[in-house]
Structure 1
Amino acid sequence: MVVSQAQSSEAPSPEHQRLAEAAQGHKPWRTWGPYLSERQWGTVREDDSPDGDAWESFSHDQARSRAYQWGEDGLAGISDDRQLLCFALALWNGKDPIIKERLFGLTNSEGNHGEDVKDYYYYLDSTPTHSYMRYLYKYPLNTFPYDDLVVTNKARSRHEPEYELIDTGIFDNNQYCDVEVEYAKADPEDLLIQITVHNRSDQTANLAVLPTLWFRNAWAQGGNAKPLIQAQPGQSGAASLHASHPDLGDFVLHCQGSDELVFTDNETNTEVVFQQPNQSPYTKCGINRYLVHGETAAVNPSKQGTKASAIYNLSIGANASSTIKLRLTRSTLESRDDSAYHAFDQILDRRKQDCDHYYAKVMPAGFNAEQKLVFRQAMAGMLWSKQFYNYDITPWLQQRGIDPLGSNNAQGFRNQQWHHMNNSDVISMPDKWEYPWYAAWDLAFHATTFAYVDPSFAKRQLSLMLSSQYLHPNGQIPAYEWNFGDVNPPVHAWATFNVYLTDASLHGQVDHQWLKESFHKLLINFTWWLNRKDANGNNVFQGGFLGLDNIGIFDRTESPEMGGSLEQADGTAWMALFAQAMVQISVELARKDETYREYPAKFMRHYLSIAHAMVNRNASESMWDEEDGFFYDVLRKSDGSSTRLKVRSMVGLIPLCAVYSFEQDVLETIPELGDLLPRLKEKFPVQHSLFHDVRFRGYANRHLMSVLDETNLRRVLKIMLDPAEFLGDYGIRSISKRHESEPYRFSHNQ
């Protein structure tokens, strides 16, 4: 369902105009944005271990000294859309053993519930083009309890709560600063940066604020010229950083009122990380060593390098604030003098107003003040969670001794079958710290949300996964970097049509060309599912854990140890949804192009076959349990026998998602579809009596595709909405509460 937005006869907002200019290629308003990750360490891309343990291969402790190969991270950071030049904040309270350059959190093995970011930070605001952004970080004034967080959490069991930063007492008596960072674009390549530090304590706070500019190290592997950042004095002595890159060009960071400029190189300190002599005296950790340990030799006295910071030594009174203003702009004659701060406050205020104006126009109609705040904060979180994602599989494999096309590759080496992939795009992340990599089905849901405020970006995100740089030649959509060959639920077609409808309804754009292009790629993916995930050709599907890795009695990504295959209720239901979405898309395309008229009937056949297989492939073997009134996975053993795995989990609720209603005119407009249904009903009367009859006309003569008829729908809903089963205080549980007192046990000898 599409939520209606507030309608207005006024001219487009300034932000709408920027979106139009970007879409038409007139101005590159999207070039700069919050594209830095919150965590590049501990990722598959940076993992060079022989056993594939990414978390241990590259730690948080190494991150300040070891150059990344594939991306960058930083605090409240931004970069260009190729992540050549980066800007972020660093802080030091004079007590911590390291400067705060990036968020801290626990690895998968350290956290009692897995990986867990421990810092407190907030995405407060953003426009779609990032013409205005606001971010908040809470920085403790006393020594950050790094060791305490690791040791205490690691000692706790899975049944105990997590030990959080606030539990350490670090924020007692308001001993912290709120660090607010704002960005405002005067032009696509002219960014105003305002950092406001609010001392929340009742004592004077002394801290160093280090706005930092650096280049991603794309030269270490060869083939790229090394860029340079150097000091550039202003006409009245106000210092600036001049950054020159052979591809990006020249930029200047004006640092009004800074106490000092310090320079080093974004190079690995091999002496610290690998116990080998350094190739350069100036390394990634140089500024940290200079400030924290007083090592003057750690920074370049020539005032040049590939990483530089402007140091602001602040002394902020009790409950007072201090503000730093900077400007990052393409280098021109005008950018070389002190006019950089002319009209700074006015431009910043104007961009704030533009942001307000934009959201006033796109806010769903009828929202009250609280709902408007939730909507805007939610969109801020989505917009700040964009990240430049860089992963070229062929050289990555070669660096690890794997010939992508060789016949003697190490068996099972991660992603070796995906050597066609070369990802280098701005992509929406599930979370830029805990999950700083895309997951295809997460991205599909993200796109449906982005469609409300930036449909062009939403469509590009969906198109990326279907492009030749992502989609496998066999038709599989990549899952996630830990294993691109894993399988996510096939929701891409559903998201595609949802975004198409939202774009048309809210923005007046009927993008048939994009829908056509997507449909043809989705055909390939649908065929992959039929050929690869329907083991016996019976319209029941496998797939793996399908986003539900916490509900199986054994690992659903692996073949059952007793042999055979696992027929998954959720995987099969997702395929019913996939078929329904393809019916919708092909109907829409067929309205204007007769070439597509055969497809609605084709996918209706697929849907009906899948629905029958779920409900009554054979009464004793189907996923539907008539006695329980619920869906279960079925273990199909190698000897031909089968067993329902009677775990009441989200798996049995997913079939509720496979629902699609359509108007009577669809059957009249697409005669091939209208003729199909009565023929099938006549030919297979029993088959079509087991689930909802699509021919039946409901409210306003609408037709319904559902794997559940009314009786069975009520039975499943009764279980789902039972507090003793799935309905919890905070929503629907993944596992029924009944298993708390009735645990499910399975023996493969039974």
Structure 2
Amino acid sequence: MAINEASAEQRRLHDADTAAVPWRRWGPYLSERQWGTVREDYSPGGDAWDHLSHDDARSRAYRWGEDGIGGFSDDKQTLCLAVALWNGRDPILKERFFGLTNSEGNHGEDVKDYWFYLDATPTHSYQRMVYKYPHQEFPYEDLIATNRARGREDFEYELLDTGIFAEDRYFDVEIEYAKAGPENLLGRITVHNRGPEAASLRLLPTLWFRNTWSWDAPEPRPELRARPGGVEAVHHRLGTRWFTVLGDAPLLFTENESAGSGPYVKDAFHRYVVHGDTAAVNPDGIGTKVAALVTVEVPAGGSTVVRFRLAEAPPADTDPHAFDRVVDRRRAEADDFYRALLAPELGDGERQVVRQALAGMLWSKQYFGYDVERWLAGHGRDPLASRGTRNGEWFHMICDDVISMPDKWEYPWFAAWDLAFQSIALALVDLGFAKNQLNLLLGRRYLHPSGQIPAYEWNFSDVNPPVHAWAAYLVYELDKSRNGTGDHAWLESIFHKLAKNFTWWVNCKDHDGNNVFQGGFLGLDNIGVFDRSAPLPTGGYLDQADGTAWMALYCQSMLSIALELSRQDPVYLEQAQAYFEHFAWIAVAVDREAGGAAMWDEGDGFFYDLLRLPDGSAQRLPVRSLVGLLPLAAVTVYETTLTSRHPQLIEGIQDFVSRHPSVSSVFSGGRVNGRHGEHLLALFDETRLRRILLRLLDEEEFLSPYGIRSLSRHHRDHPFEFRVGDHTFAVGYQPAESDSAMFGGNSNWRGPVWFPANVLVIRALMNLYVGYGDDFTVECPTGSGVKMTLFEVAREISDRLIRIFLPGPDGSRPVHGGQDIYASEHWRDLITFNEYFHGDNGAGLGAAHQTGWTGLVAVFPNVFAGLTGIDLLDNGMTGVLRSAQRTEEEQA
């Protein structure tokens, strides 16, 4: 599409990417929970949750970031904007969302407030969310005490369970942001009273500077000062901004300083509004934190609007109608943007799901500041000799970026492999940001000198699956299909960084140097019989089926990238052959017996981890889980043109195979060439594929009505048990929360549906379809008598996943777990995108706002809408997101 024909939002994206117009400079970059994070933990024992709690948060200045309700800030979180509320009954001013700490919740950390992201554009020119705020006193103590008294086998006690929303006695606080220009931000808060009686509310649009002046290496103190026409905000780097609230409202000033540091401190507005302490605020109209105190009386069923602006100059026009015209225009432009983005074949229900999923993805960006060396120094540790301190070996890390978060309350920090999956969904709306995110953790400020990617702030040294190469190539392909050419320079740059990480895996996670890998827990909390990231109770180690499969997929992805780069530089053909050879050795190793056992179980027709014992023997751990399904994901199809374009590569591969009998024996089983001339790489042949699919598509095993389960339902009646001395370790099917505290919190992959694994399975099926074609059919579900091609199976799984979020015949969405209130007028269109989903009924579980990897649901409808198996065969599809339209180069 020509830029003059693009939507207004597409033009803004183009200007941001090509002309450095700072449309992304301001965005929803505040966390929803900065308290209880590692960054703010300076305790001797490293107990982040207790060192700075929710109760402490209102009175202690943060060091590394800020939080707030519906927050906005600049991309360095210098100047922050958010909304505070008081219903006249609560014991505290509502300045941040409430939830339980890891020790308070019966399933770990657990947010209790209800809010929903409804709309967002990638430049944040328009954002909309709604928060449900009760009229009655918020039951803080009840939520803590009742959940603390419940066990892991009990349901969580939620705010809805308290009855506080009875008779609709609550406010819908709708928060909108719209940009009149890159540096001109408009905020509109519409308060709806859903109850049967009039109700009053104190509303505080709040502006403050992040405290960068009270720590080591202090910066000059900025200033907020009352001026005619508003508040002047002056900062030595940011310059001058003006904050104005339309209408008459008193301004309250204080300092963003911890309690006890002076007369005017962080909790001043709480003390002033809730306790009537007028001495808490600065009468001179100066400080580093300011709020306009707006009191509204909202009639039953009525609404009222509060408007504010943050800009480079005082507004020339304070007409509320002119203000609303800008906000409404940006909202209409968001409609135009998504109308052009989404496939016309999508129904209204699917469009709603996709748009809210992407809204959650875009709202969940967060500024992440964390200088590990300075943090270690704050613990009194020498950064160069700090092993034994959390993240001590990562002293080189300096984080100062906007990053896509899994969730801004329960997971307000990046997680390496989550970020790769999130980038795929974000690429649908903002290719530039998606590429930036994939590149970020591979850059010099993040990647360890050894080549390891940092996992997440609780332990950067944990090992996440190496999915970045796969994600990078997928994003590149989407860019290429959308724009006609791919970003070769970006792909080349990321390839070299990925090569460093690949080498780290080979050097550090292959215990015996035999091309079988031991990655550790690999993000799959509670999936195995043992904690796979800890020393085993038997001694020895695990040869991991999933770790080995991840590395096989890594080889395939690096091979794909090298082949693409070789279009412009033939030197990359040598790299391509090297990654092919490494994949071949992994394929050989998967079949090889070690200690008397191999990963593939011929009797079960499934892959399993191998427990390698100190005496040199080994035994399979026959737990049918994602661990054994992931080898299915290590499959990639390469175009038919590969042979004609790179004959020397094909000759080199053929020579390599012929010179190594073990490799030749593996690849003679049909693992190289597909049915239509494509080159297919996989860890299995057709016979094994059919056996894996028997279990995958069995509704009494992996195939749920709502996608692929993380553990086979077979283990409901047949739990696996393993005895070590007097202790029995067990794994049983648990479709909801786990009863095991192996990883603490709500970590659980013992039955629920989890989106990243489903994406990888769907991708594998589509690649396999390209290789095997329409002649290859299987029963789906197993035993049903219904025959499907692998493309049809992929579409069936996709449809089941989307069904989680769509209203059923009775109007309820499975994700809401049968809660009646979600069928009512003001809740029915609000969707949560949870961390994972009940393996039998699709109810949302885990983190309630995990729009991160679950945001992948936005991918499926758009991929499959109007797409047929013939399209895939015609295009030699190399991944889930590859367009059904050929590029001009491929047609030629």
Pair in the same fold by TM > 0.5: yes
Task: Choose the corresponding residue for 1:86, options 80, 100, 109.
Answer: 80
Tell me which residue corresponds to 2:346: 367
Tell me which residue corresponds to 1:502: 478
Give the alignment of 1:359-508 within 5 angstroms: 359-406=338-385, 409=386, 411-508=387-484
Q: Distance in 2 between matches of 1:73 and 1:35?
A: 9
Tell me which residue corresponds to 1:286: 268
Give the alignment of 1:140-151 within 5 angstroms: 140-151=134-145
Instruction: Please list the CA deviations of residues 161-203 of structure 1 after superposition, one character each: whole Å capped at 9, or x if unmatched.
Output: 1111111000000000101011110110101111000000110
Task: Choose the corresponding residue for 1:251, options 228, 232, 241.
Answer: 241
Q: Distance in 2 between matches of 1:9 and 1:253?
A: 34
Tell me which residue corresponds to 2:214: 220
Give the alignment of 1:177-326 within 5 angstroms: 177-221=171-215, 222-234=217-229, 240-269=230-259, 278-326=260-308
Letter in 1 for 2:38: V
Question: Is this contact kept in 1: 2:595–2:618, CA < 8 A?
Answer: no
Question: Is this contact kept in 2: 1:615–1:691, CA < 8 A?
Answer: no
DSSP 3-state at the match of 2:420: helix
Instruction: Please list the CA deviations of residues 401-426 of structure 1 after superposition, one character each: whole Å capped at 9, or x if unmatched.
Output: 110113xx3x4210010011000000
Q: Distance in 1 between matches of 2:377 and 2:303?
A: 51
Task: Choose the corresponding residue for 1:718, options 694, 705, 709.
Answer: 694
DSSP 3-state at the match of 1:524: helix
Question: Is this contact kept in 2: 1:71–1:390, CA < 8 A?
Answer: yes
Letter in 2 for 1:458: A
Letter in 2 for 1:124: L
Task: Choose the corresponding residue for 2:166, options 172, 190, 193.
Answer: 172
Task: Choose the corresponding residue for 1:328, options 302, 307, 310.
Answer: 310
Q: Distance in 2 between matches of 1:688 and 1:641?
A: 28
Q: Distance in 1 between matches of 2:669 and 2:564?
A: 22
Q: Distance in 2 between matches of 1:403 and 1:552?
A: 37
Question: Is this contact kept in 2: 1:389–1:423, CA < 8 A?
Answer: yes
Tell me which residue corresponds to 2:816: none
Shift of 1:158: 1.4
Q: Distance in 2 between matches of 1:749 and 1:112?
A: 30
The reply to whether residue 733 of structure 1 matches residue 709 of structure 2 is yes
Give the alignment of 1:342-741 within 5 angstroms: 343-406=322-385, 409=386, 411-618=387-594, 620-690=596-666, 693=669, 696-741=672-717
Q: Which runs of 5+ in 1 are unaligned?
A: 1-6, 235-239, 270-277
Letter in 1 for 2:708: I
Question: Is this contact kept in 1: 2:594–2:618, CA < 8 A?
Answer: no
Question: Is this contact kept in 2: 1:692–1:707, CA < 8 A?
Answer: no
DSSP 3-state at the match of 1:653: helix
Identity of aligned residues (%): 54
Q: Distance in 2 between matches of 1:623 and 1:164?
A: 43
Task: Choose the corresponding residue for 1:53, options 40, 47, 51.
Answer: 47
Give the alignment of 1:736-747 within 5 angstroms: 736-747=712-723
Taking structure 1 as reference, are residues 230 and 245 closer, same or farther at Cα in structure 2, changes over 3 Å only?
same
DSSP 3-state at the match of 1:700: coil
Q: Distance in 1 between matches of 2:144 and 2:212?
A: 33
Q: Distance in 2 between matches of 1:8 and 1:94?
A: 54
Letter in 2 for 1:294: G
**RMSD (Å) for aligned C-alpha atoms:** 1.8
Q: Which runs of 5+ in 2 are unaligned?
A: 727-892
The reply to whether residue 152 of structure 1 matches residue 146 of structure 2 is yes
Taking structure 1 as reference, are residues 529 and 579 closer, same or farther at Cα in structure 2, changes over 3 Å only?
same
Q: Distance in 2 between matches of 1:283 and 1:695?
A: 67
Shift of 1:509: 4.2
Shift of 1:722: 2.0
Letter in 2 for 1:245: H
Tell me which residue corresponds to 1:118: 112
Question: Is this contact kept in 2: 1:212–1:307, CA < 8 A?
Answer: yes
Shift of 1:477: 0.7
Aligned residues: 725
Q: Distance in 2 between matches of 1:459 and 1:326?
A: 34
Taking structure 1 as reference, are residues 362 and 508 closer, same or farther at Cα in structure 2, changes over 3 Å only?
farther
Instruction: Please list the CA deviations of residues 14-53 of structure 1 after superposition, one character each: whole Å capped at 9, or x if unmatched.
Output: 1111111111234210100000001000100011111211
Question: Is this contact kept in 1: 2:671–2:681, CA < 8 A?
Answer: no
Q: Distance in 1 between matches of 2:31 and 2:720?
A: 41
Taking structure 1 as reference, are residues 664 and 314 closer, same or farther at Cα in structure 2, changes over 3 Å only?
same
Q: Distance in 1 between matches of 2:179 and 2:316?
A: 19
Taking structure 1 as reference, are residues 695 and 140 closer, same or farther at Cα in structure 2, changes over 3 Å only?
closer
DSSP 3-state at the match of 1:351: helix
Q: Distance in 1 between matches of 2:716 and 2:346?
A: 40
Instruction: Please list the CA deviations of residues 393-452 of structure 1 after superposition, one character each: whole Å capped at 9, or x if unmatched.
Output: 00000000110113xx3x421001001100000000000001000011000011111111
Taking structure 1 as reference, are residues 258 and 108 closer, same or farther at Cα in structure 2, changes over 3 Å only?
farther
Shift of 1:563: 2.3
Q: Distance in 1 between matches of 2:640 and 2:484?
A: 24
Letter in 1 for 2:467: V
Taking structure 1 as reference, are residues 67 and 260 closer, same or farther at Cα in structure 2, changes over 3 Å only?
same
Taking structure 1 as reference, are residues 252 and 167 closer, same or farther at Cα in structure 2, changes over 3 Å only?
same
Letter in 1 for 2:640: Q
Question: Is this contact kept in 1: 2:671–2:682, CA < 8 A?
Answer: no
Taking structure 1 as reference, are residues 53 and 10 closer, same or farther at Cα in structure 2, changes over 3 Å only?
same
